[in-house]
Amino acid sequence: MKLQYGIFKSLNNPIEVQESESKTVEIHSMNQTSYLAKFAGKGQFAVWTSDSKSYKLLIEDGYYKAMRDLYGKRVNQVWINFYERADKIRFGLMYKMVFPMIGLAMILALIFSSVESLQQYQSYGLIGILAIVLITNMVQTSLMRKKIEAARTESIKSIKLIVGEAK
């Protein structure tokens, strides 16, 4: 999953590199970049970025020093697993709901435009198809949010166990 890819490409001087489960996490100082005002100004002191193969964590120096336990190898692996799981959820729903609905909508549009007895109802058919596509999109978005939130909650529980073990 690509995360903040533009930022990912611009980060070149890691302050730390972590290897775990065939994934690399480079930790970069936010203070040494132009992103400090953009993110820290909004209260976001850590930003994950990725090119879908490796990950870079952009983090504010003071926050990193104070919260170092939250950015150890094991915790970072939990976050990587979460991002990869969220990506699978997103693509799974796309393939199961959105793409079939687009295909069905195209077939119905062709039927309404090519079958002579249905051509007089073509406008109604297209409006109905649009409504079904919109409703499907709303359902897909709702399901995706629920599943990703469940994965996030599970990840946070795992992180709490790890950080609790470390102390």
Question: Strand pairing partners for 29?
Answer: 59
144 CB-near residues (< 8 Å, 6+ apart): 89, 90, 93
How many Å apart are CA 135 and CA 15, to the nearest integer?
47
pLDDT in tens, 63-102: 999 999 899 999 999 999 999 999 999 999 988 988 899 8
* pLDDT for the residue numbered 113: 87
**pLDDT, tens only, 99-153:** 899 899 999 989 988 988 888 888 898 899 999 989 999 999 999 999 999 999 9
Token reading at 147: 């599943």
Assess contact for 129 and 108: CB atoms under 8 A. yes
